[in-house]
Structure 1
Amino acid sequence: MALWTLFGLMRGKATTPWPSEGGNDGQDGILGMPRYNPEACLDGCEECAAICPTHAIEARENGLAIDYGRCITCQLCTEVCPSGAMEPSGDWAFGVRERDDLIWSGRGARERPQPHGGPKAFKRSLHIRHVDAGSCNGCESELQALNNPFYNLHRLGIFFTASPRFADLLLVTGPVTSAMYEPLMAAYEAMAEPRWVMAVGTCAVSGGLSGGNYACGTGLDGVLPVDVYLPGCPPNPAAIIEALLMFLDRAPQRVSGGQIDG
């Protein structure tokens, strides 16, 4: 018997039962999106807006305007806030189907949109083609973790494929650089109908730190029709899994109006 086989038998099953049976999602102690408490906001204070590197926070006369689609979870706003209006949280499951749901509204939960017919097409499996459209490789590191023994993405019937011709979903990372625009479009055009698109990471959602410069755009909006938005810098493996299951209608969308349930 090979030593690695013996080692595996001694260690037992390494895969988490999450999310089907609860249990460990691997994100204990991980900081997510900063949580906004408007009642604690001080009049005239613009500390968080001034320090935000991606302009995810803007100070306005009636309070703060927050776009979580621009947030890179750097936590700078929580560090400079003098009143606790911006506080750290473990809110990392920020996948949504509509871009507007990443913008803080203050109205609380609303009726959430359903996928655009996607889940009905996937009774057994989902095949994904990933395109790196100028990422720093932070998102790629998290994507690689999906296939490790702990997360074992295949157990959920979700697979990555090397060819867009066999893919149902195009998963894009990066702000869409000028050099990657044509390869990205070629991958999308090679996919058979019906086809869907998922923007993973703040760069793909809104451009992130480098968006809008001479070499790249501001994410996928206006480039491809996006069906799932998942901000984060980078979003962790559990957040990616939740967003994929949400797309398949196997998990609820937990965010609306920039606020997470529970």
Structure 2
Amino acid sequence: MSLWTWFGLTNGNVSTEWPLKGDAHGQQGVLGMPRYDPAKCQDACDACAQACVTHAITFAPGSGAQVRAEVDWGRCIVCQRCTEVCPTGAFSPSAEWAVGVTGRDDLVWAEAPASGAASVAAGGTGRAPRPFRRSLHIRHVDAGSCNGCESELQALNNPFYNLHRLGIFFTASPRFADVLLVTGPVTQAMRGPLLATYEAMPDPKWVIATGTCAVSGGVTGGNYASGNGLDGVLPVDVYLPGCPPNPAAIMHALLLILGRTEQRIRGGRLER
């Protein structure tokens, strides 16, 4: 008997039952997207913007003499530097990792979050999730990533997450794919192959921008060799920031496509 067979027999089924039931998503105690409370901002303080390497936090003149931070979680790499340098707690740590959205504008902090229907129309394709009754097949394309997202994608098929139990599979051929899952900022070298893959997929087809690079370009976006993510290249159905997004967050994004879960962030505000 092999060592791994013995290990399996003695330990039993190690796969989580989440999201079908329970909350064993494997991310307990892990820091997620920071929270932002503009009421705690200190006048003439821009420590957060100075620390933000991707310009997810910027400043623009507000009403009167006030200057308020403009926050775009779609550019955030979840490095936590803003929470470390903020002197007032306006940016604070959170454990919220399920930040996939169907509309790009929902990743931008707003005073009054848009309603569900309005937010989908603002920045997303506006399509309702397809009611898949059988399996869902994914074609992954690395459009210039650092492979951080790929390491999380690999974890989806490990014994704990076991993505197959949900009827979701990766496929090598775009002709059998329902979803195009893209990582990376879309480099010049990968733009052509990415478009060719999308065109080879049968309709209806869906696109997930996975990781901050695919959402907005990330740290290296906009240089001589890289684009600024998928916007303007392909129609995006789900935006999932993170550097990288963890396996549970990727599963949440896939379940958004399936219509089997709810979006948890609107108008840049994290659900409490």
TM norm. shorter chain > 0.5: yes
Q: Select 2:179's aligned residue among 156, 164, 169.
A: 169
Is 1:259 the counterpart of 2:264 in the alignment?
Answer: no
* Structure 2: gaps of 5 or more residues: 63-67
Structure 1 counterpart of 2:65: none
Match of residue 248 from structure 1: 258
- SS class of match (2:94): strand
Per the TM alignment, residue 240 of structure 1 is displaced from its structure 2 partner at its CA by 0.5
Partner Cα separation in structure 1 for residue 41 and residue 6 of structure 2: 58
Other-structure match for 1:89: 94
Q: C-alpha deviations, 1:108-149, integer Å up to 9, x for none?
A: 4622449624422x1111100000000000000000000000
Structure 1, gaps ≥5 residues long: none
CA distance in 2, matches of 1:18, 1:154: 13
Residue in 2 aligned with 1:42?
Answer: 42
Query: For the residues of structure 2 that align with 1:202 and 1:92, how far apart are their CA atoms?
Result: 13
Identity in percent: 66
Residue 24 of structure 1: CA displacement? 1.2
**1:183-213: CA deviation from partner (whole Å, max 9, x where unpaired):** 1111111111111111000000000000000
Residue 219 of structure 1 aligns with which residue? 229
Deviation at 1:84, TM superposition (A): 0.5
Q: Does 1:133 align with 2:143?
A: yes
What SS is found at the alignment partner of 1:244? helix
Contact 2:129 2:256 in 1 (8 A): no
Structure-2 residue corresponding to 1:31? 31
C-alpha distance in 1 between matches for 2:51 and 2:5: 51
Inter-partner Cα distance in structure 2 for 1:12 and 1:23: 20
Distance in 2 between the 1:106 and 1:150 partners? 39
| Counterpart contact for 1:95–1:242, Cα < 8 Å | yes
- CA distance in 1 between counterparts of 2:259 and 2:35 reads 26
Give the whole-Å Cα distance in 1 for the aligned partners of 2:88 and 2:51: 16
Q: 2:106 aligns with which of 76, 101, 122?
A: 101
Contact 1:32–1:91 at 8 Å: present in 2 too?
yes
Cα distance in 2, alignment partners of residues 68 and 232 from structure 1 = 9
C-alpha separation in 2, matches of 1:90 and 1:70: 18
Whether the aligned pair in 2 keeps the contact of 1:109 and 1:259 (CA below 8 Å) is: no
Aligned-partner SS, 1:90: coil
- State TM-score, norm by structure 1: 0.96
Q: Which residue identity lines up with residue 155 of structure 2 in the other structure?
A: A
What is the CA deviation profile of residues 13-62 of structure 1, one whole-angstrom value per residue up to 9, with x for unaligned ones? 10011111113111111111111011111011111011110100012233
